Amino acid sequence: MISMRSPYRDKCKAMVASLCDDCGSYVELEEPKGWYLLWVKCKRGTAAELIQASADEGLIFPLGSICLVDKVRDDNHFRLAYTRSPFEHLHRAGKRLRSAFEKSFD
C-alpha cells in the first residue's frame, strides 16, 4: 500500500496527536505511513508494567514482544490499533494512557 486511505490516515493522525500531546514525556512513536497500528515505545517503565493500569483506564493492548518473529523479549514496546475506534476514543487515548503511566510510574 503506497499511502494510507483518508479515513485511516485521519484516525492515525488523531491518535498520534493525542499521544504526543498527553504522553510525550512517557512514550516515543512515529506516525506510520501505511499501517493500521502504532508501535509505541515506553520511555519510563515497561509495557508489561503498564498493562493493568491501562486496562483500568479502558485501554487494552498487546506487548510488542508477541509481534516479533524472533521472539526476543522486548518489554519497552506495545501496539495500539486505531482503525476501528471512533474519533472521540482516539482523542481521549492520550489522557487515558497518561493516567495509566502516572499510576504506574509517578
Contacts with 88 (C-beta within 8 Å, 6 or more apart), sequence order: none
pLDDT of residue 90: 96
Residue at grid coordinates 515506553? 42
Q: What is the pLDDT of residues 45-91, one digit of tens each?
A: 999 999 999 999 999 999 888 877 766 667 899 999 999 999 999 99
pTM: 0.86
pLDDT of residue 1: 46
Q: What average pLDDT does the chain have?
A: 89
> Which domains are assigned to the chain?
6-97 (3.90.1150.10)
3-state secondary structure of 74: coil
